[in-house]
Homo-oligomer: A and B are copies of this chain.
Amino acid sequence: MNLPDLDKVIHERARLRVLACLASHPRHTSSFTELKESLDMTAGNLSSQLSVLEDSEYINIEKKFHGKKPFTEVRLTDKGAEAFEKYIEALDQMIAALKAKK
Protein backbone atom coordinates (compact mmCIF):
# COMPACT_ATOMS: atom_id res chain seq x y z
CA MET A 1 0.00 0.00 0.00
CA ASN A 2 1.08 3.48 -0.80
CA LEU A 3 0.16 5.33 2.37
CA PRO A 4 1.24 8.93 2.35
CA ASP A 5 1.96 10.92 5.47
CA LEU A 6 -0.83 13.46 5.24
CA ASP A 7 -0.24 17.01 6.48
CA LYS A 8 -1.88 17.19 9.88
CA VAL A 9 -2.75 20.86 9.67
CA ILE A 10 -4.55 20.39 6.38
CA HIS A 11 -6.14 17.05 7.13
CA GLU A 12 -8.43 18.34 9.89
CA ARG A 13 -11.90 18.45 8.37
CA ALA A 14 -12.76 22.05 9.18
CA ARG A 15 -9.45 23.33 7.84
CA LEU A 16 -9.64 21.14 4.76
CA ARG A 17 -12.92 22.82 3.97
CA VAL A 18 -11.49 26.27 4.49
CA LEU A 19 -8.52 25.54 2.24
CA ALA A 20 -10.68 23.93 -0.42
CA CYS A 21 -12.84 27.02 -0.39
CA LEU A 22 -9.88 29.36 -0.73
CA ALA A 23 -8.12 27.24 -3.34
CA SER A 24 -11.15 27.19 -5.56
CA HIS A 25 -11.55 30.95 -5.45
CA PRO A 26 -10.03 32.66 -8.48
CA ARG A 27 -7.98 35.01 -6.32
CA HIS A 28 -7.43 32.51 -3.50
CA THR A 29 -9.18 34.98 -1.30
CA SER A 30 -12.33 35.14 0.75
CA SER A 31 -13.69 36.93 3.80
CA PHE A 32 -14.34 35.73 7.31
CA THR A 33 -18.05 36.17 6.84
CA GLU A 34 -18.21 34.43 3.48
CA LEU A 35 -16.29 31.44 4.84
CA LYS A 36 -18.46 31.30 7.90
CA GLU A 37 -21.66 31.31 5.87
CA SER A 38 -20.64 29.06 3.03
CA LEU A 39 -19.01 26.50 5.30
CA ASP A 40 -21.71 26.85 7.95
CA MET A 41 -19.24 27.15 10.79
CA THR A 42 -19.58 28.98 14.07
CA ALA A 43 -17.53 32.16 14.22
CA GLY A 44 -15.57 30.81 17.17
CA ASN A 45 -14.54 27.64 15.43
CA LEU A 46 -13.68 29.45 12.21
CA SER A 47 -11.60 31.97 14.11
CA SER A 48 -9.64 29.22 15.86
CA GLN A 49 -9.03 27.23 12.71
CA LEU A 50 -7.90 30.32 10.83
CA SER A 51 -5.38 30.95 13.60
CA VAL A 52 -3.94 27.47 13.14
CA LEU A 53 -3.68 27.99 9.40
CA GLU A 54 -2.11 31.38 9.94
CA ASP A 55 0.47 29.96 12.39
CA SER A 56 1.47 27.50 9.68
CA GLU A 57 1.70 30.38 7.22
CA TYR A 58 -0.83 28.68 4.98
CA ILE A 59 -3.04 31.75 4.95
CA ASN A 60 -2.67 35.37 5.84
CA ILE A 61 -5.28 37.55 7.37
CA GLU A 62 -5.76 41.21 6.74
CA LYS A 63 -8.17 43.39 8.63
CA LYS A 64 -9.73 46.12 6.57
CA PHE A 65 -12.92 48.12 6.56
CA HIS A 66 -15.81 48.19 4.19
CA GLY A 67 -17.17 51.61 4.97
CA LYS A 68 -17.38 51.48 8.72
CA LYS A 69 -17.70 47.76 9.01
CA PRO A 70 -14.70 45.64 9.87
CA PHE A 71 -13.92 43.14 7.22
CA THR A 72 -11.41 40.34 7.50
CA GLU A 73 -9.76 39.19 4.33
CA VAL A 74 -8.38 35.67 4.24
CA ARG A 75 -5.91 34.76 1.56
CA LEU A 76 -4.16 31.52 0.75
CA THR A 77 -0.41 32.06 0.72
CA ASP A 78 1.89 30.52 -1.87
CA LYS A 79 3.15 28.19 0.80
CA GLY A 80 -0.42 27.24 1.63
CA ALA A 81 -1.35 26.65 -1.98
CA GLU A 82 1.67 24.45 -2.42
CA ALA A 83 1.02 22.43 0.71
CA PHE A 84 -2.62 22.03 -0.23
CA GLU A 85 -1.75 20.85 -3.71
CA LYS A 86 0.72 18.36 -2.31
CA TYR A 87 -1.91 17.11 0.12
CA ILE A 88 -4.48 16.65 -2.63
CA GLU A 89 -1.96 14.92 -4.82
CA ALA A 90 -1.12 12.50 -2.01
CA LEU A 91 -4.77 11.72 -1.45
CA ASP A 92 -5.37 11.29 -5.14
CA GLN A 93 -2.57 8.77 -5.42
CA MET A 94 -3.81 6.86 -2.45
CA ILE A 95 -7.28 6.67 -3.96
CA ALA A 96 -5.87 5.55 -7.28
CA ALA A 97 -3.90 2.81 -5.55
CA LEU A 98 -7.00 1.66 -3.70
CA LYS A 99 -9.10 1.57 -6.84
CA ALA A 100 -6.41 -0.27 -8.75
CA LYS A 101 -6.29 -2.99 -6.12
CA LYS A 102 -10.00 -3.60 -6.17
**A-side interface residues toward B, CB under 8 Å?**
1, 3, 6, 8, 11, 13, 16-17, 20-21, 23-24, 38-39, 88, 91-92, 94-95, 97-99, 101-102
Number of copies: 2
Report the nearest B residue to A39, measured CB to CB.
Answer: B3
Instruction: List, in ascending order, chain B residues with CB within 8 A of A99's CB.
Output: 88
Instruction: List, in ascending order, chain B residues with CB within 8 A of A92's CB.
Output: 95
A80→B59 CA distance, assembly (Å): 36
The residue from B13, B23, B101 contacting A98, defined by CB atoms under 8 A apart: B23
Known contacts A8-B13, A11-B13, A98 near B1 by CB under 8 Å: no
A92→B1 CA distance, assembly (Å): 18
Known interface pairs A1-B20, A1-B24, A91-B91; 8 further A-B residue pairs with C-beta atoms within 8 A, sorted by A's residue number? A3-B39, A6-B13, A23-B101, A24-B101, A24-B102, A91-B95, A92-B95, A95-B95
